[in-house]
Amino acid sequence: MTGGGTGLGLAIARRLAEKGYDLVLASRSAEHLEAGARSLEPLGRTVLRIPTDVREPLAVERMVDEVRAQLGRLDVLVNNAAGNFVVPAERLTPNGWRAVVGIVLDGTFYCCRAAFPLLRAAPAPSIVNITASYAWLAGPGTVHSAAAKAGVLSLTRTLAVEWAPHRIRVNAVAPGPIRTEGTDRQLWSDAGLRERIAAGIPLGRFGAPEDVARAVEFLVDPGAQYITGEVLTVDGGQWLGRGVMSLLAEDPRPGAGPGEGTN
Ligand code: NAP
């Protein structure tokens, strides 16, 4: 699991530990890894913490070597690490672009590539890449992240086909707006904004990290053994609810909204 000490990664790690998996948490900050791992240890599974910057191919190779040495096997790889910040595209510096694309797209590829030999030897191997619904929507203000997540989607489908002969399933989970400590602080700290966002989600609420963790659990489960190259969207219907007609249908003003005979 890349990331894994914070946010959705920690929730996914917890779910997988509850299912009986031993875990490897790999991110940059030893502090994040330690805090996350300590919170998981009561579940009774092994939790390795391997400080790793996924932008560095050699660091990723070393991380996988450590997994081989300490656990001897790898059944599931979850590419969850990401970075993001909001900036108009015309003000995004080449360094900012490279940082985000480097973590999200390069990092996902480096981890898949390095993990391949161990995964190929596992009985029912699978990879789950965490993308985002803005991979296929526009992501104004986050062109770096949107482009990188779209790349991860393409990588997911391509590897699903290329590695199917090795029985490695490759799927993606695409969260919509999920409340975590980080997103509450950085994206929607304002309660009014949170209300407006929730009102635009057909299921009427933000997602919770556990919603995403359940989707990952499903995709790695033996029950999903015939599913590969798929993207499971976990967004309360948000991206489907963006059409003009859904706004008209919701408009409470008398006479507004689609009446009989409209099409
Ligand atoms: P988060 O808590 O910031 O998680 C990102 C993780 O990536 C952190 O644990 C961070 O750990 C790690 N990371 C960052 N740079 C790294 C690097 N260079 N090398 C290795 N690890 C690195 O945010 P989150 O909301 O849980 O996001 C988790 C995933 O869900 C991401 O892929 C994100 O794009 C996706 N997602 C989230 C939402 C949402 O609403 N929350 C929506 C759509 C998609 P360190 O700081 O220790 O490196």
Residue 259 tokens read as 């009446």
pLDDT of amino acid 250: 65
> Residue range 200-228: average pLDDT?
97
Q: Which residues are within 8 A (CB) of 4 and not within 5 positions of it... i.e. 6 or more apart?
A: 10, 12, 13, 23, 24, 25, 26, 27, 33, 36, 78, 80
Q: How far is the CA of 130 from the centre of ligand 1 (A)?
A: 9
Q: How far is the CA of 183 from the centre of ligand 1 (A)?
A: 10
CA triple 146-7-116, angle to 5 deg: 70
Q: Which residues are within 8 A (CB) of 18 and not within 5 positions of it... i.e. 6 or more apart?
A: 43
Taking the whole predicted model, whether its pTM rises above 0.85 is answered as yes
Q: What is the pLDDT of residues 76-93, one digit of tens each?
A: 999 999 999 999 999 999
> Residue range 212-232: average pLDDT?
97
- Residue 258 pLDDT more than 90? no
CA distance 129 to 186: 23
pLDDT of amino acid 252: 61
User: Is ligand 1 within 6 A of the CB of residue 210?
Assistant: no
% of the chain beyond a pLDDT of 90: 90
Helical segments of the chain, H only: 7-18, 30-40, 57-70, 94-101, 107-120, 143-162, 181-186, 191-199, 209-220, 244-250
> Residue range 105-111: average pLDDT?
99
CA distance 212 to 236: 11
Sign of CA dihedral 226, 231, 236, 238: negative
> Residue range 151-161: average pLDDT?
98
Residue 83, Ramachandran bin (φ over 0: left; ψ between -120 and 50: alpha; else beta) = beta
The pLDDT-based confidence of 209 (bands split at 50, 70, 90) is very high
CA nearest ligand 1 atom 10, residue: 3
pLDDT of amino acid 121: 98
- Residue 248 pLDDT more than 70? no
Please indicate whether residue 134 is annotated as part of the active site.
yes
**3-class secondary-structure state, position 161:** helix
User: Is ligand 1 within 6 A of the CB of residue 142?
Assistant: no
CA triple 226-230-232, angle to 5 deg: 115
Which domains are present in the chain? Answer: 7-250 (3.40.50.720)
pLDDT of amino acid 260: 47
Mutate to test the pocket of ligand 1, among 1, 8, 12, 127 (most ligand atoms within 8 A of CB): 8
- Residue 261 pLDDT more than 50? no
Do the beta carbons of residue 161 and residue 109 sit within 8 Å?
A: no
